[in-house]
Homo-oligomer: A and B are copies of this chain.
Amino acid sequence: MSNTNVSNFIDDLNKAFESRVRLGMMSLLVVQEEIDFARLKESLQLSDGNLASHMQALEKLGYVEVRKQFIGRKPNTQYTVTELGRNAFSAHLLSLEKLIKQMQS
C-alpha cells in the first residue's frame, strides 16, 4: 500500500461516521425502518445527552430525519435514515472495505 493510497482512502472516509457510536447508530438506522430514542439508547448503551447530540449532528447533515409525536401522553421521538444518509453510509463502508482489503493483500 503506497502512502498516496493511504491519503486517498482517508479522504474517502466520511468524518461524520468515524466514531464507533455513529457507526452503530447508522447501522441500526439503515437496517430498521424506524427506531425510537429509547430503543437506540438501550441498544447503544448511551446517555440521553450523548445520543441526542450525535443525532442532532446527523440530522444537520441531512442523514437522519426526526419525528416527534405523543403516544398517549408520552413524548416519543422516532428516527429514520434519509436516502442521502443511506448512500453516504454505504460509501463509507465501501471505503473501509477497500482499506481492509488492501491491508490484507
Check: A28 CB closer than 8 A to any chain B CB.
yes
Instruction: Tell me the number of copies of this protein.
Output: 2
* Set of chain B residues within 8 Å of A44, measured between Cβ atoms: 6-7, 10
Verify if A43 is at the interface (C-beta below 8 Å from B): yes
- Report how far A10 CA is from B104 CA in the complex, Å: 22
Minimum CB–CB distance for A49 against chain B, Å: 18
Interface mask (A17-38 → B, CB under 8 Å = 1, otherwise 0): 0111101100110110000000
Residues of chain A from 61 to 103 with CB closer than 8 A to chain B in the complex: 93, 96-97, 99-100, 102-103
A45 at the interface (CB under 8 A from B): yes
Inter-chain contact A43/B96, CB cutoff 8 Å: no
